[in-house]
Homo-oligomer: A and B are copies of this chain.
């Protein structure tokens, strides 16, 4: 995994199917809890922001963590992060309004790749390449077709009318 240049997300090739062509956007605010004594946002807080972005992208596709978990029964299926490559470009600060952008990358049989960025207005603060997998009963599980299909063919309205987001 290599961290993509921020520009890859900023100016996506909109014709590519299954590419990062239609990033999902989640707006969020920086609170006390996210900062550290240096005055800026604590580096691990960005991972929480990225995870909120992925969760909301999935929710917009009607894929919800709590339902997947319950559907797994005693196995309790859930997504896990397998790998991340992060570039921290500029700091975020208290009270900042940020945008988490999430684009769907390659969908494998047992893993999903997403390319993410965090921006403040037009400034890119962070880029991330993330590979996630589905785990149940302590073992990797095949991504169910109904989830993979949704991710491979995200609806056109996803980018056009992002509900509740910037």
Which residues in A have some Cβ–Cβ distance to B below 8 Å? Answer: 1, 3, 29, 31-33, 35-40, 42-45, 47-48, 51-52, 55-56, 59, 64-67, 69, 74, 76, 78, 80-88, 91, 93-95, 135
Chain B residues with Cβ under 8 A from A86's Cβ? 81, 83-86
Among residues of B, the one whose C-beta sits closest to the C-beta of A35 is B37
Interface of A is mostly: mixed
Given contacts A33-B48, A37-B69, contact A80 B84 (CB under 8 A): no
| CB < 8 Å neighbour of A43 from B35, B51, B91, B94 | B51
Distance in Å from the Cβ of A8 to the closest Cβ of chain B?
16
Given contacts A37-B39, A78-B38, contact A95 B65 (CB under 8 A): yes
The listed residue with most B CB atoms (<10 A of its CB), out of A43, A52, A59, is A43
Contacts A/B (CB < 8 Å), 27 sampled: A31-B48, A32-B37, A32-B38, A32-B42, A32-B55, A32-B65, A37-B39, A37-B40, A37-B66, A37-B78, A37-B93, A38-B80, A38-B135, A43-B47, A43-B51, A43-B80, A44-B45, A44-B47, A44-B51, A59-B95, A65-B94, A66-B93, A67-B95, A82-B87, A82-B88, A83-B88, A85-B85
Cβ contact within 8 Å between B83 and A39: no
Cβ contact within 8 Å between B32 and A36: yes
| CB < 8 Å neighbour of A66 from B65, B81, B87, B94 | B94
Distance in Å from the Cβ of A62 to the closest Cβ of chain B?
12
Distance in Å from the Cβ of A81 to the closest Cβ of chain B?
4
| CB < 8 Å neighbour of A52 from B31, B82, B135 | B31
